[in-house]
């Protein structure tokens, strides 16, 4: 069992779960998602958007676990997908094809065909070449593809460069001038119903100013198109709403975000779509990991965990901050300054540098917070480390929603070079 102090820093939704027992039973590293936290977020967003004809299209890339998708689907969310794999996940979770939008700068012919065959709701088109491909594939199948143009509004989202997507130099979307030319030449693509606008300027947005700026540009364009006689049935404002990973960080709340949308799109008679990923799931997930050892290096003191960059890549890739909370006895000890690292053979395999934590010992259990989004979904088996298990907790119950990968599963598909064939 637990005393209350053992939980300090852990989000409310995890406090009913006996995390040490869970770690003992299911092993570590272990992803733990809290169902109530996900439900609470999706409901709060729906509530904030109330009064608008708005639909949530959850960005599956943030966390594509089937149980998480099912939870969101039960709350009425559709999906934003970027690959045939994500389409399969969304459909298997019971999300209706009509409630799925297909984004992404490089859709293959096979993916476009699959999406058309299942009756996907809408494509978010990012290039002239993609528009031509969708026309060709839809015509061959005798169906009409419904599509929006992804606008690149050329605003600085003021987030990490690697997750900023709405500047002219980014690969995403097209300029308003190019989009205008597409609408004017619509008849060239008779099997594409081009009747929507889309944008997504970046992720982990902590200020709404760039969102307002981009929305204003998109709204002005919608009005111009409408005046020119182009019916606009859908405006998709993308995702990007940031969360608070670190004390002192200020994240916008859902109501402010919804108000920005409400204001910019006042008078719009069509459907509004939002594509949040992170905001719905980031804080609903943690990584439970055990301290392998404490190491006094020549210059620094290291805490080596059994989780590594292959399990949670964000600190390595974006220098992202994740709170690290020792559980159990460690929580009560005096503090020390650690570089918190994993066992992978790269210096970049670092979760935190010079982090002040309670003294830890081998075997202590540690929680890495804010791991529900872009955690497991960005995992790999680098260093031949099998993918970790994932569990969903709901009150004091839990269910394994992805079993730990076995070595056989990790190695399946590989074979010796014995079956040689002519190229
Ligand atoms: N819609 C589109 C078209 C997107 O590309 C994305 C995310 C989203 C929606 C959802 O964005 P969100 O609401 O989650 O910010 N791996 C990075 C984040 C990459 C985001 C990519 N696109 C990270 O761990 O910070």
pLDDT digits (tens, 9 = 90+) for 242-295: 999 999 999 999 999 999 999 999 999 999 999 999 999 999 999 999 999 999
- Return the DSSP state at 196: E
- The Cα–Cα gap between 80 and 97 comes to 11
Asked if the model's pLDDT at residue 297 lies above 70, the reply is yes
3-state SS class at 245: coil
pLDDT band at 157 (very low <50, low <70, confident <90, very high): confident
At 51-96, the pLDDT tens digits run: 999 999 999 999 999 999 999 999 999 999 999 999 999 999 999 9
Burial 16-47 (b: 16+ CB within 10 A, else e): ebebeebbeebebbbbbbbbbbbbbbbebbbe
Q: Is 144 a residue whose pLDDT tops 90?
A: yes
- Asked if residue 63 lies in contact with residue 377, where contact means CB atoms within 8 angstroms, the answer is yes
Relative to beta strand 30-34, strand 122-125 is: unpaired
> Quick count: other Cβ atoms within 10 Å of Cβ 11?
19
Given the residues 187, 299, 345, 417, the one annotated as active site: 345
CA of 202 to the centre of ligand 1 (A): 7
| Nearest protein Cα to ligand 1, atom 16 | 374
Residue pointed to by tokens 């540009």 = 217
Q: Is 8 a catalytic residue?
A: no
Q: pLDDT by residue (tens digit) across 246-259?
A: 999 999 999 999 99
Residue whose Cα lies nearest atom 23 of ligand 1: it is 374
φ, ψ of residue 110 to 5 degrees: the values are -65, -40
For residue 70, the SS3 value is helix
- Strands 234-236 and 335-341 come out as unpaired
What's residue 331's pLDDT?
79
217: enclosing H helix or E strand: helix 209-227
Separation of 183 CA from ligand 1 center, angstroms?
27
Tokens matching residue 169? 């130099």
Q: Write out the binding residues.
A: 240, 275-278, 314, 318, 346, 374
User: Where do the H-state alpha helices sit in 49-143?
Assistant: 66-74, 84-92, 109-118, 128-141
Helix, strand counts (H, E) of the chain: 12, 17
Cα–Cα distance between 317 and 171 in angstroms, integer?
19
pLDDT band at 161 (very low <50, low <70, confident <90, very high): confident
Q: What's the pLDDT at 329?
A: 79
Instruction: Characterise 152 by phi-psi region: left (phi > 0), alpha (psi -120 to 50), beta (else).
Output: beta
Q: Domains, the chain, ranges and CATH? A: 4-33+282-405 (2.40.37.10), 35-280 (3.20.20.10)
pLDDT band per the 50, 70, 90 thresholds, residue 8: low
Q: Residue 302: its pLDDT value, please?
A: 97
Q: Is the pLDDT of residue 212 over 80?
A: yes
278 three-state secondary structure: helix
Average pLDDT over residues 156-164: 88
Q: Which secondary structure element, helix H or strand E, spans residue 179, and what is its range?
A: helix 176-184
Query: How many whole angstroms separate alpha carbon 86 and alpha carbon 315?
Result: 24
Find out whether 378 and 365 touch, Cβ atoms under 8 Å: no
**7 band by pLDDT with thresholds 50, 70 and 90:** very low
* Residue 6 confidence (pLDDT): 43
Q: How far is Cα 377 from Cα 307, in angstroms, rounded to an integer?
A: 15
**pLDDT digit string, tens, across residues 170-179:** 999 999 999 9
- Which residues form ligand 1's pocket by a CB distance below 6 Å? 59, 61-62, 80, 103, 163, 200, 203-204, 238-241, 275-279, 314, 318, 373-374
> How buried is residue 279: exposed, middle or buried, by Cβ count under 10 Å (0-12/13-18/19+)?
buried
Question: What percent of the chain stands above pLDDT 90?
Answer: 91
Residue whose CB lies within 8 A of the most ligand 1 atoms, among 153, 159, 203, 211, for a mutation test: 203
> What is the C-alpha to C-alpha distance for residues 354 and 342, in angstroms, rounded to an integer?
15
- 177-199 pLDDT, tens digit each: 999 999 999 999 999 999 999 99
- Both tokens of 51, joined, read 């009064």
At 3, the pLDDT band (50, 70, 90 cuts) reads very low
Average pLDDT, the chain: 96
Do the interacting molecules here have an ipTM over 0.90? yes
Q: Model confidence over 351-400: pLDDT tens digits?
A: 999 999 999 999 999 999 999 999 999 999 999 999 999 999 998 899 99
Are 64 and 377 a contacting pair, CB within 8 Å? yes
Three-class SS of residue 274?
strand
d(CA 272, CA 236): 6
Please state the residue numbers annotated as binding site for pyridoxal 5'-phosphate.
240, 275-278, 374
Cα(3)–Cα(86) distance, integer angstroms: 41
CA of 62 to the centre of ligand 1 (A): 7
Q: Which pLDDT score is estimated for 164?
A: 86
Ligand 1 centroid–CA 111 distance in Å is 20
């Amino acid at each position: 069992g637990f005393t209350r102090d053992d939980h300090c820093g852990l989000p409310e939704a995890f406090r009913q779960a006996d995390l040490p027992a869970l770690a003992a039973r299911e092993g570590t590293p272990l992803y733990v998602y809290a169902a109530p936290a996900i439900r609470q977020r999706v409901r709060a967003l729906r509530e904030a958007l109330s009064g608008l004809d708005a639909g949530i299209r959850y960005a599956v890339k943030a966390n594509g676990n089937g149980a998480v998708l099912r939870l969101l689907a039960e709350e009425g969310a559709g999906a934003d997908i970027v690959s045939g794999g994500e389409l399969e996940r969304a459909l298997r979770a019971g999300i209706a094809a009509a409630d799925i939008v297909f984004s992404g700068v490089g859709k293959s012919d096979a993916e476009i065909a699959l999406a058309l065959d299942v009756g996907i709701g809408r494509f978010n088109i990012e290039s002239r070449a993609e528009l031509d491909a969708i026309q060709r594939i839809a015509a061959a199948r005798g169906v009409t593809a419904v599509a929006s143009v992804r606008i690149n509004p050329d605003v600085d989202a003021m987030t990490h460069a690697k997750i900023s997507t709405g500047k002219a130099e980014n690969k995403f979307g097209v300029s308003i001038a190019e989009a205008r030319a597409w609408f004017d030449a619509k008849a060239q693509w008779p099997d594409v119903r081009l009747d929507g606008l889309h944008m997504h300027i970046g992720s982990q947005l902590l200020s709404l100013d760039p969102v307002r700026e981009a929305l204003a540009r998109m709204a002005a364009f919608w009005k111009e198109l409408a005046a020119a006689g182009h019916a606009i049935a859908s405006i998709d404002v993308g995702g990007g709403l940031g969360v608070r990973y670190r004390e002192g960080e200020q994240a916008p709340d859902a109501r402010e975000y919804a108000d920005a949308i409400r204001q910019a799109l006042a008078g719009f008679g069509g459907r509004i779509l939002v594509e949040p990923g992170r905001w719905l799931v980031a804080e609903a997930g943690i990584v439970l990991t055990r301290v392998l050892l404490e190491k006094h290096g020549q210059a620094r003191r290291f805490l080596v965990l059994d989780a590594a960059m292959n399990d949670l890549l964000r600190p390595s890739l974006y220098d992202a901050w994740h709170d690290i909370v020792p559980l159990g006895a460690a929580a009560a000890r005096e503090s020390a300054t650690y570089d918190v690292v994993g066992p992978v053979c790269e210096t970049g395999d670092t979760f935190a540098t010079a982090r002040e934590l309670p003294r830890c010992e081998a075997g202590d259990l540690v929680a890495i917070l804010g791991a529900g989004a872009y955690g497991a979904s960005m995992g790999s088996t680098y260093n031949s480390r099998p993918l970790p298990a994932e569990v969903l907790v709901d009150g004091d119950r839990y269910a394994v929603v992805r079993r730990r990968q076995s070595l056989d599963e990790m190695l399946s598909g590989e074979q010796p070079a014995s079956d040689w064939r002519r190229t």
